[in-house]
Structures are given as structure tokens and as C-alpha cells.
Structure 1
């Protein structure tokens, strides 16, 4: 049974500073109730089909995906969002490291995927390190605002730095250390390689541990092997370390023992304050042979122009890409990416359609941006932020959709990075009308706010919301279903088993998409733009 949304005063002020509109509560309810589980499923089945091959950037699957989005948004009456085009070119280069490599440390060879995954971001056919001294640099962080520098007084030129994943706050749970259990950008693997490069290191190795990384070793195996995409740069990324990669925690413990160190002791010391220590006489050698391909991928952008201020945009985002097909893999070779992120892409189509049911245009434009290469380090959204089709000073807010709720209806709504902007308040108002409460970030230690495409908008100064799902099941039957399905979803993250399943309960996804629609509509009618909270690290530039 469809739940009709209660909207009592749509024609008057929704929040302080709202403008009036001729769109009625019945109009808004038509859009709200047009979002249906069977429609979401229809889109996911297509996008996550074997025919689309896992939707890798610059693949046949990309062409099929872009054609599908073009067809759907054109049918809805949306206009091309980039001049007369639905597309924004994103120049990419793919580097695929030859799997026939070994990492030799202390006279022992460590095997690719089993013990380590190594690669190079340099656009070069061959890179490597030879007898490069190992230095443990704690968390590999240089953060002046936290009075923390693991590299202080250390010269790592020509050396290979070894570091922990996440940041010290996760290890200690001390709310006064960084941001406590909530990961900062300093805890992300992207930052650690960037900082090692700024410090002049030859190599950078992150020690994988499941809890602080928030994913198992199998994700490293699948996500950091095969084609790795990056941007085409004039310097061919020669300012990056020659080799960057991961080792398992078991390998790390063995290396620390060989160096006359205790891993657990060193890890504890690293969490107390800026820390580094030489790893004895240990040195690393590895040779990375790259197959290089330059290509162009595309962001997709479509707009429903606003009725009063069409130059001001609310942007909905989702990434259309996944990991593609691994022809070297035994068994199922296609990473269909049904949950991550065919669901978000399908949800974007559903929310877009909801706005066409209003009868009249919202005051501001509604723009839908499906980005490429999220799985490769948020490349599509990073490129958009550096080359925005819509200037930041005309972008009112961003609502991001990445891996929708497949666990059924809930009484709450989770907000990743809660407390950063007024978007939380607007969401809470809409959620209350749904009979739901805002429950906060479900796993702050994973640093989710820095791991999806809204992060690029936040860096532009645009208030960005990343929400969805919840923890309080609607009823006992849903609670039992959640226990079963959550194990399946967790085990299939970045695995070939992330496929569409008929047993998915999409009622929770419908709830969330209806909320996202309502939040976007409310923002479109307000005179005042949402702002960042004073304590946020992001502010309008």
C-alpha cells in the first residue's frame, strides 16, 4: 500500500525564509508517490545486467549506461545539462599492473594478491623500487591543525614508508584526538599516498586491517588490481611515489619481527603522538610493469530548469560506474555492481521522474549528475569539481545517492557526516513528516563522508548531504529479513556476487528516495541557501 505524504503548508513558508509557490501539496504528493519499488528494480536489472559488463569506465558497458541514461532522461523531458550535451568529457588514463610481480623484503618474496597488491600511479611503462629502506611512519599524517606530523625531522627520500590505515582517533577512541572514532580525510588511503609523495618517498605501503579500513582484504585484491584509472596530467604523475600498495597485517607483523620490532607495540606508540621508526636493515624491491591506455570517459548531466531562478541548481549525484569485468578471474568474471551503484543510478532516475509529476517547475533547477570512475578514487566527481558545468556560486546544494537501502523500511534515517551543514535540519523536517527520526552516522570510523561523490561538492564549498537507510527496523518481520540480507550485502561488496536479487526489499529505498525528493523540493523553494555549520571543515569559498 502506498503511503501518502502529508504536506500541510507547502504554499506557505516551509522553513524560515521560504518563498511561496503555486505548487500545491497534492502536486508534491503526486511526485512523492510516483517513486515505486518495481520501477527501481526495473532500472537496476538493466544497469546491473551481464550485458553491461560491470560498467567500467571507457568500456562498452559505459556506452550502454550512457545511452540508457540519455533515453530515460530525454523521455522525462529533461534538457542536456552541459550546453547542448548530456555529457562532460573526463580524460582518463588506465594503468594495469602485470600480475606477475613479487615484493621482496628481507630476502623473502611476497606474492601478488595473496600477500600484497602493488602498483604505480605514474604514467610509465615500468616503475619500481630497489633495496629501498623501510621506515614505519605511524599513520603517515602531517596535520598542522591537529599538531601532528609523523614525518617531522625525517628524510624519506629514496625510502619506502610503511603506515597504518585510518587515523589515531580510531585507535584510541579519544574524542579529543582528531575527531575521535570518526575518520578524517587524513585516514583515507588517498591522502596517505599523496602525503608520502609530497615527502619525497620512493614507495608507500599501507598495512591493511579490516576494522580500521572498514573492508576485508578481498576488497583490496579486487579494487586495486586490474585497470586503475587516473587523470591525464602534463607531468605524467611523476610527482607521485614510484610504487604504492598494500600488505596484509600478517605480512606486516612478520616484517616488524624481522626488524626487531613488535607490531602491536609500534601501533600503540603511533596512536599516542607523531611517530616514526626505522625498520632495521629491511629494504624492499619490486618491479611494476604497466599497460597504459589513454581514454575518455563521461559524466552524465541532465537538468529540469527552474521556474523562477533557473540559474540556481540543486544537484543530485550518483556514480554510474563499477569495477567492470576481470577476464583473469576464475568463475564469475563480471562485477555487476547492482547495489553499488546501480541502485543509486536507478534512484536518480526515479527522483528525476518525481519532479516531472509536479505539473509546474520548482523555483530552482533540478540537475542530475551521474559521474564516472568513482570506484577509482572519485575521479569523475573530482574532475567535475575542477571543471564545474554549474559554478559553485550557482550550486545551492548537493544530494548524493550511493548504494541505496535494500534492507526494508526503517523508523530512522542515517546521515553520514552528520552535523556538518543545515542540510541535516531540512532532512530532519522531511523525515518527521514520514514518521522517521535522524539517527546519525552509522559508522563514523569508516570515513564515509570522504568516500563518495558528495565530497567533491563539499570541497567546492557546496553543502552536500549523504544519507540513507537506518538501523531501527519498521517491524519484526523486517528485522529478521535485515539480519539475513545484511550478511549477503556485506559479503558481496566489490565482489561478483553484487547482483540483482528478487528477494531484495526495496521499500526502504523507496522511503529514502521520497525523502531525497522532498529535501530537494524544499530547498528549491527556500529564499535562503543551506549553509555549513560553524564547526565544519567545509565553508563557502
Structure 2
């Protein structure tokens, strides 16, 4: 009888504890505020911050403001009394001199910069030239042993200009078992294609743009090329990279291939067939580029809430602080404010920090709120952290990241970019159901977004990483409404001066996602086990090596 009473008491205490924790989580979630999100984005997305380009006055103002926010919330500095991790970078200002000249036995083409092509160079050299550089078509420009794939097989590209297709062969194959079907692999990223061309000894790599494969229109390519590029500082000043990296507009590419009696659409199909062989294009290109550069130090921002008995283990939330700065004027405006990209996500992260601080007891694990620099120029700030971590990688249990959180209201879906990669999906699903929502794998996985934001820097070193937000199914107006709104924003605001706060914004969806991912993070920060990669994940083996 005594034993039965004891068991009953334990059950009762457990019920009371669960009820008390749920009440605490609910109360803490109420600290996440639409008004606070709006106020923050109005400030950080204003002209005052000069588009938040790394280096200079824009960075100084941004870092001061973010540190004030961290201090006001009560976060502790993560780095020996400081919130700032120095990140050595180089800013390269490149200017193409005149048109690019492309010549063959049958035709001459004068490519206008921005209209027909863009070109840039990482090499810290004042003048960079392609002089009658032979052009070679190399399919998708991919060498992927695990897929038994080599677009460069049998090609001599040393000292030549490689022309490649955007994305990877799975995109237009119609097969789910080929690469990863329409979901882009890392081999489809422009960054990989430039790296591989350099490894093959090419002098230049030009990617043929098309909207579906890239995931954005030509205007995004132009706007990104029109501002200074930011890269990590390296000892060899990038002499091992191609002289020229760039893009060709689809129309200009079609005209070139037609003049060579080549059908680009047919070649695209052949390149995805597995039977493709690269070819010399019987054309030569001339491009001249002038570079100026300056080496400087930018900064990541890290604050934390110290854990209790598992304080030497770490959960990260991340949202980058930078944007494109001041660039090519559009409709009289040259400040690229980045209110959505990434002001809304910064607000999301800081509201989650407020919720953690509102809990009556700290989490078991330490929670780090990480705002990296230079995401827009290639995840440089988060990559620097991953390669120079403040906290041990094998003690960092997970990263929850966000980017581009749209201000159109609440969504029924929780879209997971990179769905199926890790156990984190299952934790999100549980909390989504509590909000009456459902999980949606990214329907635009062909754009490769899992490789395009800061969670990827954590994933590539083995840390399970999540990128999740409501995005596709508006709570009141449905999917078609949200699809129309998202497409409008991508076409008219993404990487443009029009990415500004507007009075009509509805940030209730950002707040709902903050409440959901606060609860996900609270569970991760307190549970016994580490989240794990799924068996098929490309990152699983990296993680396993850390525990051998």
C-alpha cells in the first residue's frame, strides 16, 4: 500500500512539474512581441545604417545597436567580456572595362556588362585580363565521385574559359533518384562551380543564368555584382582562383551558342543524361577587369545565456546582420536596407532570447545568440566561426538559423529547408502540431537554400542545423496568396533598395515562428541526448568522426 502511494505521489509530482513548466513556457512566449519586432526592423532597416555593409560606418552603427540590444536583454558577452569576434576580410571593388568581346569564325559578340554578363575576380591584382581565351562548354561543371559524375573528363581547360550550366543534373532529369532530383546538391551552387573550375586549371568560369536553376532573376545577379565583394583574407591573395568568375545572361548565351550552330537547350538535356561529353566552343572571349581592395576586420556578434549542469554544451540561434550596403541606384534609391534580409530574422532571434531570459530557471545547456557578418558575400562570417570556433564543435549540439522571414502574416505551414536531414525536423513537427500547423518540406528545394544561409556553415562541420519558418500557406488566404506575395518580394525587393520596412507589414508570422522555435530550442537545451543527423545525410559521417 505504501509503495502504491509512493508511485502515485511521483506521478502527481511529475504532472505538476510538467504543468508548471508548460505554464512557464507559455508565459515566456508572451514576451515575444509583434510591436517589438516591428520597432526593431524599423530601426535596423532604416537608411541610418547605410545598408549594413561590412566595414566602415554602416558596420560600426549596426554593431553598436546590436550590442545595446544584447545588453538590454541581459545576454552575457561570449568572448572574454566582449560580444564581438573579429573576422579578417578583404573587400574587393572590381570594375569591368568596356564590353566583353566574344569572337568566332562565324560571328562577333559585344557583351554589355550588367545587360549580358557580369564578371568579378577574387585575385588581389590591379588588372586582370582574358585575352582571346578559348571557351569550353563543360556541362554543369561538376566532379562528383559519389554520383560517378565528371563533367571535366576528357576536357583540357587549363588556361581557358569554362562555360557551365547553373544548378545540377537532377534539376531537369525528372528523376528523384538522380543526384537528389529537383533538390539542389552543393554541386549546384555557384560557389562550388567556381572552386572546381579553379581546381581544373581554368582561367575563367562563366555560369549561364536561368531563373529556375538559380532561384532568382537576373536582376539579383546584377545587383550583387554591382557592389563590392567581401572575401576571407587568405595568404596567397587568391592567386589559385580563376582570374575571372561571372555569369552570362540566358539570352546572350543562347545567341552565342546559336552562332556556333549549337542548341543550348539540347545541350542542357544532354548534360543531364549522364552520357554528356564536354566540347570546345570554337569561340574566344576577351574581358578586362580592374580591381581595388582593402583588407580590414569585420565582426560576428555573440551573446549567451549560461546553462546549468550542461553549461559546457551549446545550442546556437543564428541570424546574419549584414546586407549589401550602398549600390547601384534604382528609382533614385541606392541604399540596400535589408529589412527582410535579414532584419526580420534578427528580430526573431532577439525575441527568442527575451523568451529564454523570461524563464524562471536557466536552460541546462548554454544558449548562444549568434549574428554573423558577411553572409551576403558567401557565408563568410559563419564560415570563419566554424573554422575558428569559440566553443568546441563536438560540444555544440545544434544550430537553429533563420533568414528572409517574410512580413505577410501567419502561415499554417512550417517550411523546413533541407527537410529530412536531422532529428531537428521531428522536434519542430511536435511543436508545430501544438500551434495547429503542419510541416512542409521546402517546395523550392531546387534553389539550394540549404547551402545559402548560415546554418550551412554549422552543417558542413557536422553540427545538426535547422532552417525553418512559415512561408507557403497563409493562415487566412491560403497557398496561392502566399506564393504570389513571395514571388513579388523576390522579383521586386530581394537584394534591391526596395527591401525596406513598410507600414502595411504584418509580422505576426515572424512572432509565431519565434514562439515555436523558442520551444524547440528549450527542448534541445534541456534534453539528455544530442540531436542526430538522419542515416542518409551527407553530414552524418562528419559528426560521427568527432566522437570517435
Which TM class, normalised by the smaller chain length? over 0.9
Q: Which whole-Å CA distance do the structure 2 matches of 1:483 and 1:208 have between them? A: 23
Q: Which whole-Å CA distance do the structure 2 matches of 1:241 and 1:33 have between them? A: 52
Is this contact kept in 2: 1:149–1:274, CA < 8 A?
Answer: no
Is this contact kept in 2: 1:407–1:481, CA < 8 A?
Answer: no
Matches within 5 A, 1:230-309: 230-273=231-274, 275-309=276-310
Q: Which whole-Å CA distance do the structure 1 matches of 2:411 and 2:330 have between them? A: 38
Deviation of residue 165 (structure 1)? Answer: 0.3
Q: Determine the structure 1 residue equivalent to 2:372.
A: 371
Q: Determine the structure 1 residue equivalent to 2:81.
A: 84
Deviation of residue 375 (structure 1)? Answer: 0.5
Is this contact kept in 2: 1:259–1:279, CA < 8 A?
Answer: no
Is this contact kept in 1: 2:226–2:327, CA < 8 A?
Answer: no
* 1:446-469 deviation per Cα after TM superposition (whole angstroms, max 9, x unaligned): 111111000010011110000001
Matches within 5 A, 1:300-339: 300-326=301-327, 331-339=332-340
Matches within 5 A, 1:421-436: 421-436=422-437
Q: Which whole-Å CA distance do the structure 1 matches of 2:55 and 2:536 have between them? A: 40
Q: Determine the structure 2 residue equivalent to 1:343.
A: 344
Deviation of residue 330 (structure 1)? Answer: 6.2
Deviation of residue 479 (structure 1)? Answer: 6.6
* 1:180-228 deviation per Cα after TM superposition (whole angstroms, max 9, x unaligned): 0100000000000000000000110000001111100000000122200
Unaligned runs of 5+ in 1: 1-8, 14-19
Q: Determine the structure 2 residue equivalent to 1:114.
A: 115
Deviation of residue 96 (structure 1)? Answer: 1.1
Is this contact kept in 2: 1:79–1:304, CA < 8 A?
Answer: yes
* 1:357-385 deviation per Cα after TM superposition (whole angstroms, max 9, x unaligned): 10210111110010011110111111111
Matches within 5 A, 1:514-529: 514-529=515-530
Is this contact kept in 1: 2:41–2:343, CA < 8 A?
Answer: yes
Deviation of residue 328 (structure 1)? Answer: 6.1
* 1:279-321 deviation per Cα after TM superposition (whole angstroms, max 9, x unaligned): 4420111111001111110000001101221111110001100
Q: Determine the structure 1 residue equivalent to 2:508.
A: 507
Q: Which whole-Å CA distance do the structure 2 matches of 1:66 and 1:12 have between them? A: 44
Is this contact kept in 1: 2:185–2:448, CA < 8 A?
Answer: yes
Deviation of residue 23 (structure 1)? Answer: 6.9
Q: Determine the structure 2 residue equivalent to 1:16.
A: none
1:30 aligns with 2:55: no
Deviation of residue 386 (structure 1)? Answer: 0.6
Q: Determine the structure 1 residue equivalent to 2:456.
A: 455
* 1:244-285 deviation per Cα after TM superposition (whole angstroms, max 9, x unaligned): 100101111111122221111111111101534334420111
Q: Which whole-Å CA distance do the structure 1 matches of 2:450 and 2:243 have between them? A: 29
Describe the SS at the equivalent of 1:167. Answer: coil
TM-score scaled by length of structure 2? 0.93
* 1:96-115 deviation per Cα after TM superposition (whole angstroms, max 9, x unaligned): 11144321101322111011
Deviation of residue 88 (structure 1)? Answer: 0.7
Moved more, 526-535 or 102-111: 102-111
* 1:77-104 deviation per Cα after TM superposition (whole angstroms, max 9, x unaligned): 1111122210111111111111443211
Q: Which whole-Å CA distance do the structure 1 matches of 2:69 and 2:299 have between them? A: 17
Is this contact kept in 1: 2:139–2:165, CA < 8 A?
Answer: yes
Q: Determine the structure 2 residue equivalent to 1:3.
A: none
Q: Determine the structure 1 residue equivalent to 2:191.
A: 190
Q: Determine the structure 1 residue equivalent to 2:486.
A: 486
| CA spacing shift, 1:80–1:213, aligned 2, 3 Å | same
Q: Which whole-Å CA distance do the structure 2 matches of 1:472 and 1:114 have between them? A: 35
Is this contact kept in 2: 1:426–1:519, CA < 8 A?
Answer: yes
1:178 aligns with 2:176: no
Q: Which whole-Å CA distance do the structure 2 matches of 1:274 and 1:111 have between them? A: 34
| CA spacing shift, 1:259–1:481, aligned 2, 3 Å | closer
Matches within 5 A, 1:403-422: 403-422=404-423
Q: Which whole-Å CA distance do the structure 2 matches of 1:489 and 1:438 have between them? A: 23
Describe the SS at the equivalent of 2:128. Answer: strand
Q: Which whole-Å CA distance do the structure 1 matches of 2:56 and 2:314 have between them? A: 30
Is this contact kept in 1: 2:226–2:328, CA < 8 A?
Answer: no
Q: Which whole-Å CA distance do the structure 2 matches of 1:274 and 1:126 have between them? A: 39
Q: Determine the structure 1 residue equivalent to 2:169.
A: 168
Q: Which whole-Å CA distance do the structure 2 matches of 1:388 and 1:169 have between them? A: 35
Q: Determine the structure 1 residue equivalent to 2:8.
A: none
Deviation of residue 471 (structure 1)? Answer: 2.5
* 1:318-371 deviation per Cα after TM superposition (whole angstroms, max 9, x unaligned): 110000012666610000010110111111111111111102101111100100
Match of 1:95 among 81, 92, 113: 92
Q: Which whole-Å CA distance do the structure 2 matches of 1:127 and 1:408 have between them? A: 48
Q: Which whole-Å CA distance do the structure 1 matches of 2:335 and 2:136 have between them? A: 38
Describe the SS at the equivalent of 1:333. Answer: strand
Q: Which whole-Å CA distance do the structure 2 matches of 1:45 and 1:449 have between them? A: 28
Deviation of residue 481 (structure 1)? Answer: 6.2
| CA spacing shift, 1:227–1:12, aligned 2, 3 Å | farther
